[in-house]
Amino acid sequence: MRIRFQADADLNEEIVSGILRLNPNIDFQTTEEAELRGMADPEVLARAADENRILVTHDRRTMPRHFADFIGRRACPGVIIISQRVSVHRAIEELTLTWEASEAEE
């Protein structure tokens, strides 16, 4: 089974729409679809974990700490933090490659 992604509220929406435009088979849930806007980081992590999704975010300030605390309590597929300095095109390429080369069980 392929990995599944969850967009955090701060993720550039052009990344998600670009990925889905290039490959609609990639399961990348938007913030709106998951109703995450306004949720605290621990709640967002819990929602992504409950749905077996890797959270994709730009949040380098608070998410690493929340993720470290979270995985100390329960399992989680992971978090991918994308620098805001990375171009949208490069982020799309890297996430697509991650999806193509990975299985959910890994």
The string of pLDDT tens digits covering residues 81-97 is: 999 999 999 999 999 99
Sign of CA dihedral 78, 1, 74, 47: positive
Sign of CA dihedral 37, 38, 43, 45: positive
Q: How far is CA 47 from CA 18, 33, 52, 77, 98, in A?
A: 23, 12, 9, 11, 21
User: Is pLDDT of 19 > 90?
Assistant: yes
pLDDT attached to residue 85: 96
pLDDT attached to residue 1: 85
* Confidence category of residue 67, pLDDT binned at 50, 70, 90: very high
pLDDT attached to residue 103: 82
pTM higher than the cut 0.85: yes
Averaged pLDDT, 65-77: 95
pLDDT attached to residue 95: 97
pLDDT attached to residue 59: 97
